[in-house]
Amino acid sequence: MQKIRYKLSAALLIFIFISASAVSSASASLATQPAGIDILRQSQQALIKLIDKLSPEVVAITVGRVVKLPKRKGAGADTKPYETLLVPVRGSGCIISRNGQILTNEHLIHQAKIIRVTLWNGREYEAKLVGADVRSDLAVIRIVDKVSLTACKFGDLRKVRRGQFVLAMGNPLGLAFDGQAAVSFGIVSAIGRHVTDVDREADRYYGNLIQTTAQINVGNSGSPLFNLDGQVIGINTIISSTSVGGSHLGFAIPISKWTKNIIDKLRRGKQIEYGYLGILLADIAGQNGAMVVKVVKTSPAGIAGLKPKDIIVKYDNQKVINVDHLIMLIGQSKPGRRVRITVERAGKLINLTAKVARRRDYVK
């Protein structure tokens, strides 16, 4: 009987030990749980504060654009074979001056008859075009009434890194009619992306773009892409849709020294002039420079002696990194200026001189 009692006591001690251990583990788990949740809450609160701070810098834009449609039978006796409709187009923008200047996409306000802007507080204003540039797809509009607004701050492409967190705030699907900008959160997926065959007939150039996982939809055109410091690092512009799973990629025009220069000119109502050589280019895998694919014979490049398969390694004494870099250098060149071009041809370096032309004299 004593032996049995001893065994029971031992079993009870073991049970108490195991139970105590379980309670101790549970207590430890409960003790550590709030710390983790607190970190999430703190991050969430910081994000909410940032969004509240940035909201007054973002606007929803509604454009009235005239569209010509084939005339219906019996729709009138005049001789025009079409009828016109004023179609609403919706997008976004960010405020860049206290007096109501707003940065957006050119393709949004293209041929606009009416431009209306809705602020974060729901107030709506008429706006007018200040300056627009088709090639960069950037435009500046201004609220007609006298206002005092909060302007955004620009970041710098040189500090943008893959993997950094970003916020896209705008008017997707035209749902921000109350002024409340929709927010999406993501990361920078890639830098220096080049998207081809988009609005080619308009001579747009979508190069050196920021690719992001932040959700971007129709209506986000012209919306700002913010970093966690509240700086605009890009203007959300295009999405690349796929037929697989219905997913798409978002791209933003980066805020760089080049785009800041364009924006500054547009704010003053100036036309953007681009240099032109007359060459079609291609990147070279694993190598700096840009390969000439085609040369327009009567262009500055043709007159200078550039040939297909030439690899341009230097332009105006600057090393060429890739096609995007060279296109930017050519675009920045003042028309009428003579530039030195170093090419690699059949293993030899050759120096050529070209006189830069004005792009709009060649490309309509």
Question: What's the predicted TM-score (pTM) here?
Answer: 0.84
Cα 232–Cα 237–Cα 238 angle in degrees, nearest 5: 140
Active-site residue flag, 19: no
Percentage of the chain lying above the pLDDT 90 cut: 74
In SS3 terms, 285-348 reads as CCEEEEEEEEECCCCHHHHHCCCCCCEEEEECCEECCCHHHHHHHHHHCCCCCEEEEEEEECCE
Looking at residue 16, its pLDDT comes to 33
pLDDT surpasses 60 at 83 = yes
| Exposure class string for 49-68: b at 16+ Cβ within 10 A, else e | ebbeebbbbbbbbbbebeee
- What three-state secondary structure class fits 60? strand
pLDDT surpasses 70 at 210 = yes
Tokens standing for residue 114 = 């009416």
Of residues 184, 221, 223, 256, which has the active-site annotation? 221
Tokens standing for residue 306 = 């550039």
Helical H segments across 187-256, by residue range = none
Map tokens 């940065």 to a residue.
Answer: 103
Give the DSSP H/E element, type plus range, for residue 141: strand 138-143
- What three-state secondary structure class fits 29? helix
Any idea which of 34-48, 57-71, 191-205 has the lowest mean pLDDT?
Answer: 191-205
Any idea which of 160-169, 182-191, 263-272, 355-364 has the lowest mean pLDDT?
Answer: 355-364
- What three-state secondary structure class fits 40? helix
* Strand duo 165-170 + 182-195: pairing: antiparallel
Active-site residue flag, 38: no
Averaged pLDDT of the chain: 88
Distance in angstroms (rounded) separating the CA atoms of residues 226 and 198:
24
pLDDT surpasses 80 at 77 = no
Of 250, 60, 252, residue with least CA distance to 154: 252
Looking at residue 120, its pLDDT comes to 96
pLDDT band with cut points at 50, 70 and 90 for residue 85:
confident
Active-site residue flag, 221: yes
Q: Between the ranges 3-12, 69-78, 274-283, where is the mean pLDDT highest?
A: 274-283
- What three-state secondary structure class fits 259? helix
Beta-bridged to residue 168, according to DSSP, are 184, 225
pLDDT digits (tens, 9 = 90+) for 320-350: 999 999 999 999 999 999 999 999 999 999 9
Of residues 137, 184, 223, 310, which has the active-site annotation? 137
Query: What structural domains does the chain harbor?
Result: 46-67+82-272 (2.40.10.120), 275-361 (2.30.42.10)
pLDDT digits (tens, 9 = 90+) for 252-297: 999 999 999 999 999 999 999 999 999 999 999 889 999 999 999 8
pLDDT surpasses 90 at 7 = no
pLDDT band with cut points at 50, 70 and 90 for residue 361:
very high
Q: How far is CA 300 from the centre of its chain?
A: 32
Distance in angstroms (rounded) separating the CA atoms of residues 299 and 315:
17
pLDDT surpasses 80 at 164 = yes
Beta-bridged to residue 182, according to DSSP, are 170
Distance in angstroms (rounded) separating the CA atoms of residues 94 and 257:
18
pLDDT digits (tens, 9 = 90+) for 120-152: 999 999 999 999 999 999 999 999 999 999 999
Distance in angstroms (rounded) separating the CA atoms of residues 216 and 214:
6
Of residues 92, 107, 184, 256, which has the active-site annotation? 107
| Exposure class string for 320-330: b at 16+ Cβ within 10 A, else e | bebbbbbbbbb
